[in-house]
Structure 1
Amino acid sequence: MKIFYAVQATGNGHIARAKELIPYIQRYGQVDVFLSGNNSNLKVDLPVKYQSNGVSLFYGNRGGLDYFKMAKELSLFNIIKEARSLPVDQYDLVINDFESITSLACKIKQVPSIGFGHQASFKSSLTPRPNKKDWMGEFILNNYASATKYIGLHFEQYDEFIYSPIIKEQVLLASPKNQGHISVYLSHYSDEVVASYLNQLPNQLFHLFSKKEKTVNQRANILYMPIDNALFTESMINAAGVITGAGFETPAEALYLNKKLLCVPIKGQYEQLCNAAALKNFGVPILANLNANFSKQVEAWLNGANQTQLHLSFNTGTIVEKLMETAASMHVHQEEFNQYELDHLSLKFR
């Protein structure tokens, strides 16, 4: 079976998830990755066959999106041209992790696809939203990368097609410790802005993961570290707590490890506000921004009760089985993708 897997490379979460998933998906056939976007800081160790700048999100220095840079990078002509040339019709299965060019290509060529990932969970009205809905944010979540069917991932199973987060093997096999430091990843702020607040707590050691730093070095109470998946995960496993945005993968892993978690959502990113609403149900404090009260907020957070721990109802292998069962139900190239083959593989790899 030939499998086309579109991976959004805006941010790091989609790539980190793909690294965990692909070995399981490869049990069912050959996987070719389409990597779209140019705003990830992670090393890409995936079977990439196609690549595009795609549609990327860029962040400013003070917690929000850089709309000018986003508009400058956007070319509708190129997107349509790339969608027409993308060979989705040459594959038995198209998996789309919130990637717009693949979605358009499938519409143009009338190819069925599965929308897979965290954003797919927002197809359900039962998935948490903030008290004030954003109609534009809802429109983007529902139409940016539409598909034939959906497999969603979220902190809890809010609907029947929503499953557990994909947790990295490094986290699943970890023996968490508390070595006293706090792991910090706030990509929507500059290092200088974040450091000015962390320096207000001189007796607390912070591991600050930076887009600029190439080596590990310490200045005052901050250990600056380059963005590296394994390095960040090791820091988080041994941390007293984690301060990050209201994304999906990092908060999920922090909650799974039963680490104290403090989230600062990206301003203007509706999906993060939705995640923040879900995280509040776990008892996670949410800060609207970094402000003059930051040191007091961090001290109160560290001295407060732990949040509710996240437990996995489905493992990665089971989620991929559900993905393939969904593909079978769409009758994608039935001669190569029949139920007998799925049942045989399911039994073989359990």
Structure 2
Amino acid sequence: MGLRILFCLQGEGRGHMTQAIALAGLLRDAGHEVVATLVGHAENGTVPAFLGERLMCPMHAYESPDIKLNADARAINVWRTTLSASRLSLRYLKGIRSIDDHLEAYRPDVMVNFYEPLAGLRRNSTVPMVAIAHQHMFHHSRYPFTAGSRLQRQGILMFTKLTAIRAARLLGLSLYDAPDMPQINLQVVPPILRREFFGLKPRRTEPPYLLVYLWRPELVGEIREWCEERPRSLVHCFLSHPQKKRDDQVLDNLVLHHLDDRLFLEKMAACSGIATTAGFETTAEAMYLGKPLLMVPTHVEQQCNAMDATLLGGGYASGTFDLERLEHFAPRDQSTFKAWVDRAPEIFVQALEEVAAGVPLTDRPPGPTPTHPTRRDGGHRTHPQSPVDGVQKFVQAAT
């Protein structure tokens, strides 16, 4: 008999939603059921309609803390984030009660948390929780978390710990394989991409166009200025916040799109290059397809994604959206990365089945031999040639 699984996710941005959609498909293929999804959203926020359609399960929304950025949307404002959370604390208590009420109503075997902070504060501790996010890699002993200021790093680490309180296992999404850390219940896992993504056939259309994804709509002015200066360059830009119309042709060579997961994938397959704020999922998708990738990180987490992708030769990091750079960047062969991503179905399904059965990470049986040199040490993976070593050298050389 399959597992009953309840999702809880942060409803801001594209990343956590696409992770949930991808994992739901893998679990159904393995005979398990996603019984419901709880979505935490910011004050006055909305949940995209496509999420419920794609997850094919009941949806329940509530208000939850979100990260506040500076006026130029270029960095996290720790004080604004803290003050906002304090002001809305009573509403968040309702959100915590909503999580507990739905855990009681649906009685799942496992709860999966996609970086939703209130899930960590639930009273119900009988349902084991698996916490999934690339931010969990910041707690890895060999990950050089050096981006941003010390205050920003501490803020992200505290927020990340909040999402994982009493988690039975942490699944740290990573662009490369690395040793697990059983002492903190951290298992390193590959990016989880949707089924539809693997059916894409990379190509380029005529006339060619560039694809842009912006986490915050405040950044669209920079894209517009670039397009005004280069009227012969066509750009399709997706925004993570709803627009009045699905397609808004603001210039002859600039089309703004409301976030639509299927349309985004269609445009990605046929574009000549991708520019993004270095969100984890878009970065991983561009690397898998071998598309030229320009990353303009706006905060600490995205700076880490950009560093990793740059090290792996999958993209180019910049401080501005100079889309012309995409014409001169040729990504490195990503065969090792693609092999790592292709292992996601077995790794994720096995991890959730183990947590439901009460199997700790230290007792996890060895998986199949990875495609690059490894050795076994006490039953856990260690990688003398792992990219995480290269990340450390990369940071040392840059500082």
What TM-score, normalized by structure 1, do the two folds share? Answer: 0.81
Report the equivalent of 1:118.
134
Establish whether residue 238 from structure 1 lines up as the match of residue 266 from structure 2.
no
1:77 aligns to 2:102 (yes or no) = no
Q: Choose 224-233 or 77-86, whichever is displaced more.
A: 77-86
Residue 149 (structure 1) aligns with: 169
- Any stretches of 5+ residues in structure 1 without a counterpart? 333-338, 340-350
Contact 2:212-2:237 at 8 Å conserved across structures: yes
Deviation at residue 112 of structure 1 after TM alignment = 3.2
Q: How far off is 1:258 after superposition?
A: 0.2
* Contact 2:16 2:114 survives alignment (8 Å): yes
What whole-Å deviation, never above 9, does each CA across 1:145-175 have from its counterpart, x for those lacking one?
3323112222111233212111222221111
Distance across 2 between alignment mates of 1:191 and 1:252: 22
Per the alignment, in what secondary structure is the counterpart of residue 11 of structure 2?
A: strand
For the pair 1:16 / 2:42, whether they are aligned, the reply is: no
1:105 to 2:105 alignment: no
Equivalent residue number for residue 279 of structure 2: 247
Residue ranges of structure 2 left out of the alignment (5+ in a row): 181-186, 365-399
Identity among equivalent pairs (%): 23
Are 1:92 and 2:109 an aligned pair?
Answer: yes
- Pick the aligned partner of 2:319 from 288, 304, 307: 288
Query: How do 1:53-202 and structure 2 match up within 5 A?
Result: 53-57=63-67, 62-64=72-74, 68=80, 71-72=83-84, 75-85=88-98, 86-87=100-101, 88=103, 90-106=107-123, 109=125, 111-127=127-143, 129-130=145-146, 134-146=153-165, 147-160=167-180, 161-179=187-205, 180-188=208-216, 189-202=218-231
Once the two structures are superposed, what CA deviation does each residue of 1:61-117 show, in whole Å capped at 9, x if it has no partner? 7333685588447522232343245233633212111111111105x6465311123
Tell me if the contact between 1:129 and 1:273 (Cα under 8 Å) persists in the aligned partners: no
Aligned residue for 1:346? none
For residues 228 and 145 of structure 1, do their structure 2 counterparts lie closer, same or farther at Cα, with a shift above 3 Å needed?
same
2:347 alignment partner in structure 1: 319
Q: Deviations over 1:4-63 (max 9, x none)?
A: 211111112111121121133242245221111136556222323432121223557733
Tell me if the contact between 1:56 and 1:70 (Cα under 8 Å) persists in the aligned partners. no
Amino acid at match of 2:277: G
Q: Deviations over 1:168-192 (max 9, x none)?
A: 2222111110222110112323433
Matches within 5 A, 1:211-230: 211-218=242-249, 219-230=251-262
- Residue 270 of structure 2 aligns with an amino acid whose one-letter code is N
Q: CA distance change for structure 1 residues 136 and 55 in 2, over 3 Å: closer, same or farther?
A: closer
The 8 Å contact of residues 118 and 163 in structure 2, kept in 1 or not, is answered as: no
Contact kept, 8 Å, 1:32 with 1:48, in 2: the verdict is: yes
Give, in whole Å, the separation in 2 of the partners of 1:128 and 1:173: 35
Distance 1:209 1:30, change over 3 A: closer
The one-letter amino acid of 2:318's match is: L
Partner of 2:330: 305
Q: Which residue of 2 is the match for residue 343 of structure 1?
A: none
- Cα distance in 1 between the residues matched to 2:97 and 2:112: 17
| Bigger fraction of residues in helix | 2
1:279 is paired with a residue whose SS is helix
Count of aligned pairs: 324
